[in-house]
């Protein structure tokens, strides 16, 4: 078992020794990623002290970009393009895959990433982060196209996210557990502080954006309603609701305290199948959660088994303590079979969050 003096770099090397041999390309790539995270952490920590940055525009998803979104994206590209481990990258901030410049060697890995998750919270000083996923390029590919990135989450070689908050951290998995590393400013290295993280099996917390309640599918309404009813309801226990609106912060809380995070599919006709991006948000997060003993689902399928159809594909995401995820998956299955029960729902009615005397889940 690694000890608390283990740096992220040492951990990677020792993990590969346990697997039977070093993968120097993967080691170098993950070291480049952690270097990028250090630079982004510095930029985020400076906040309003940063020199004025160029104004950002609208990204491929129709969302307003923050200047730090573009800066973080550029930091990852510059940190990871030169080393010869990658033959391509893809990011939330770029419509098309990024081609490694010709003057750099090509490697056998692909990197997909969200350079600054939760950036809409920067103005209010909430924890943000970087999410990344490492995939193997198909054999013989040196100039990947979009199709080469469309791999299910089960094919991930490594995944992780960085946190830029009260402390800077990297949470990572190489396929053998989920481990947390805290940036030690005295030595400038991410150091193992949370080995073999395990999500608690039982929980009394859930996280969902309640302002979207009117668009939830019946299984989600049923689950939330039961939690809100507390000890008087079918769960027989009081639940707390959390919502940070920063995926990395939500997932870290669940890794530490357990719980359920939901950004489910909803019923808006104009809405995409989900809010979060499959390749560079849902898949890497799902790998970390599963490696920590939790579960991650769309509500109807395991996230890691979803076959991607496009680079920026969206997906519903329900993750956390395995028992809670399994309960919500069962509710979706019962609904799809037409077996919903009818519940009284005084808090989650048709008109608003706190009106309407009852709700039939058949509605």
- pLDDT value of position 355: 46
Tokens (6 digits) for 257: 């305290």
Burial, 49: exposed, middle or buried (Cβ in 10 Å; 0-12, 13-18, 19+)? exposed
- pLDDT value of position 358: 41
Which residues, at least 6 apart from 106, have a Cβ–Cβ distance to it below 8 Å?
84, 86, 87, 100, 142, 143
- pLDDT value of position 353: 53
Residue 32, phi then psi, degrees to nearest 5: -65, -40
b/e per residue 136-156 (b: at least 16 CB within 10 A): ebeeebeebeeebbbbbbeeb
Helix (H, G, I), strand (E, B) or coil at 226: helix
Q: Are 172 and 133 in contact (CB under 8 A)?
A: no
Helix (H, G, I), strand (E, B) or coil at 113: strand
Helix (H, G, I), strand (E, B) or coil at 126: coil
Percent helix, strand, coil in the chain, to 5, is 35, 20, 45
- pLDDT value of position 120: 86
User: pLDDT below 70 — which residues of the chain?
Assistant: 1-4, 51-64, 269-271, 341-363
- pLDDT value of position 123: 84
| Distance spanning both ends of the chain, measured CA to CA | 52
Whole-prediction pTM value?
A: 0.91
What domains lie within the chain, and their CATH numbers?
8-194 (3.30.540.10), 205-336 (3.40.190.80)
- pLDDT value of position 271: 61
- pLDDT value of position 307: 97
- pLDDT value of position 180: 98
- pLDDT value of position 39: 97
């Amino acid at each position: 078992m690694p000890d608390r003096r283990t740096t992220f770099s040492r951990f990677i090397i020792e993990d590969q020794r346990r697997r039977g041999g070093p993968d120097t390309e993967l080691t170098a790539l993950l070291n480049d990623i952690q270097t990028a995270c250090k630079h982004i952490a510095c930029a985020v920590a400076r906040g309003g002290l940063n020199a004025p940055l160029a104004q950002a525009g609208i990204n491929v998803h129709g969302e307003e970009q923050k200047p730090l979104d573009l800066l973080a994206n550029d930091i990852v590209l510059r940190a990871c393009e030169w080393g010869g481990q990658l033959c391509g990258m893809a990011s939330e901030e770029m419509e098309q895959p990024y081609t490694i410049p010709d003057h750099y060697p090509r490697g056998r890995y692909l990197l997909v990433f969200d350079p600054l998750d939760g950036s809409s919270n920067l103005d209010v000083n909430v924890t943000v982060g970087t999410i990344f996923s490492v995939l193997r390029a198909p054999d013989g590919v040196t100039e990947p196209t979009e199709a080469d990135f469309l791999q299910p989450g089960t094919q991930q070689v490594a995944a992780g996210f960085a946190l830029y908050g009260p402390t800077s951290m990297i949470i990572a998995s190489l396929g053998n557990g989920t481990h947390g590393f805290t940036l030690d400013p005295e030595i400038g290295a991410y150091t193992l502080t949370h080995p073999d993280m395990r999500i608690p099996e039982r929980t009394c917390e859930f996280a969902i954006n309640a302002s979207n309640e009117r668009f939830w599918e019946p299984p989600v309404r049923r689950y939330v309603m039961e939690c809100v009813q507390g000890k008087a309801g079918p769960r027989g226990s009081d639940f707390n609701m959390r919502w940070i609106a920063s995926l990395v912060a939500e997932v870290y809380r669940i890794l530490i305290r357990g719980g359920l995070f939901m950004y489910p599919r909803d019923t808006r006709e104009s809405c995409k199948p989900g809010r979060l991006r499959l390749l560079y948000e849902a898949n890497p997060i799902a790998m970390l959660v599963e490696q920590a003993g939790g579960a991650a689902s769309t509500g109807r399928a395991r996230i890691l088994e979803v076959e991607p159809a496009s680079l920026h594909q969206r997906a519903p995401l329900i993750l956390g303590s395995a028992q809670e995820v399994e309960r919500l998956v069962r509710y979706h299955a019962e609904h799809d079979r037409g077996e919903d029960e009818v519940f009284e729902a005084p808090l989650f009615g048709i008109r608003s969050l706190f009106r309407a005397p009852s709700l039939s889940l058949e509605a």
